[in-house]
Homo-oligomer: A and B are copies of this chain.
Amino acid sequence: MTDRPRLTALAERLPATVPFVGPEAQERARGQPFRARIGANESGFGPSPRVVQAMAAAAPEMWKYCDPENHDLRVAVARHLGVKAENVVVGEGIDGLLSLTVRLHVSEGTPVVTSLGAYPTFNFHVVGFGGRIVAVPYANDREDLDALLEAVKAEGAPLVYLSNPDNPMGTWWEADEVEAFAAALPASTLLVLDEAYGETAPEGTLPPIDVSRPNVLRLRTFSKAYGLAGLRCGYAVGDAALISSFEKIRSHYGVNRMAQAAGLAALADQGYLATAVGRIAAARARIADIAHANGLAPLPSATNFVAIDCGGDGAFALKVMQALLAHDVFVRKPMAPGLDRCIRISCGPDADLDIFEEELPGALAEARGN
């Protein structure tokens, strides 16, 4: 008998943690808002006006519970991708779907392979369910497919995480390379293929959807190119048996009613998506230009952000980031060894990039101690 309710042994040893500190928390700490919000890989171009209308129209209907089957959105996603509804599960963003995927496959001590410096929220879920992270370093700023494969085999890992295009570096593999990686995996290893940035990638980056392969799960979201990060709505696509296993544990009312309505409207407005993707590409080019103009090396990017090599070590890039923050420009940076020489700038409207352009020279000078 203890003097208070006891947590599970696993919960007891988990740290209380926040994978990211939000810009709002930073603004509260600073006592001052940022002038440019280009740090969280959001799309400052926002959602389609039709989606905004759909959300406003859904507002008075919010007294109703959401459809626990997410039926209309699930069917629309399936149609969009040319698969059956049984191959799609809609969830609370990729974060929510990653949590469920991990929970289905990971128990105490299960090895899970990912890249050192890749998406921290995935790691949060793995650790949260008692798994053991096996982290493979990036090679040439890309997730290292050969080394990931080797680690999977050495560990007998049931899960391997790959983001393509990659966050936080913005790099990518061609579709055939990803397919070769998937084909080389043991049948007992599930490839968790995070394609959050799929819509902004060059043609030929996303392998064709093939739901006949039971060990590949594709994850996509309305958070990035669709401009709806605050919505918490994404979907996973895969083999029907795998997808049906989510029914065992998912929070059936988890995707809120407006998220379903907005997701449906977003998917229906592919014209806006194309426009947004064009704006994001233009912003990427401008961020690269700004970097070059300051003597820095932008990395090629297939995402809605650009990692900029600041030309020094991690400590230097950290100083650059901190100087930008102090100048009211919200940006972030990779933290893993080797990747940490970069800062990471999200695409956004010209007004935001104007501020970045204006503040970067000063931030660099401060970081250099001039």
A contact residues vs B (CB 8 Å cutoff): 1-11, 14-22, 24-25, 28, 37, 40, 42-47, 51-52, 55-56, 59-69, 71, 92-93, 95-96, 99, 103-107, 110, 121, 128, 158-159, 186-190, 214-215, 223, 227-232, 239, 241-242, 244-245, 247-249, 251-259, 262
Contact = CB atoms under 8 A, between A and B. Distances in A.
B230 A104 contact: no
B248 A16 contact: yes
Contacts of A239: 4
Contact of A56 (B11, B25, B59, B231): B59
B63 A52 contact: no
Given A7-B104, A105-B7, A68 B18 contact: yes
Given A8-B104, A8-B107, 18 more contacts: A1-B186, A1-B188, A8-B105, A10-B107, A14-B249, A15-B248, A37-B64, A47-B60, A51-B62, A52-B60, A56-B59, A59-B59, A63-B228, A95-B253, A99-B251, A231-B256, A232-B253, A256-B258
A106 B40 CA distance: 34
Contacts of A214: 3-5
B247 A16 contact: yes
Question: Interface SS of chain A: helix, strand, loop or mixed?
Answer: loop
B230 A92 contact: no
B252 A65 contact: no
Q: Which 5 A-B pairs have the closest CB atoms?
A: A230-B257, A16-B247, A5-B190, A55-B59, A14-B248
Nearest to A53: B59
A228 B5 contact: no
B251 A63 contact: no
Given A92-B251, A248-B14, A187 B1 contact: yes
A230 B11 contact: no
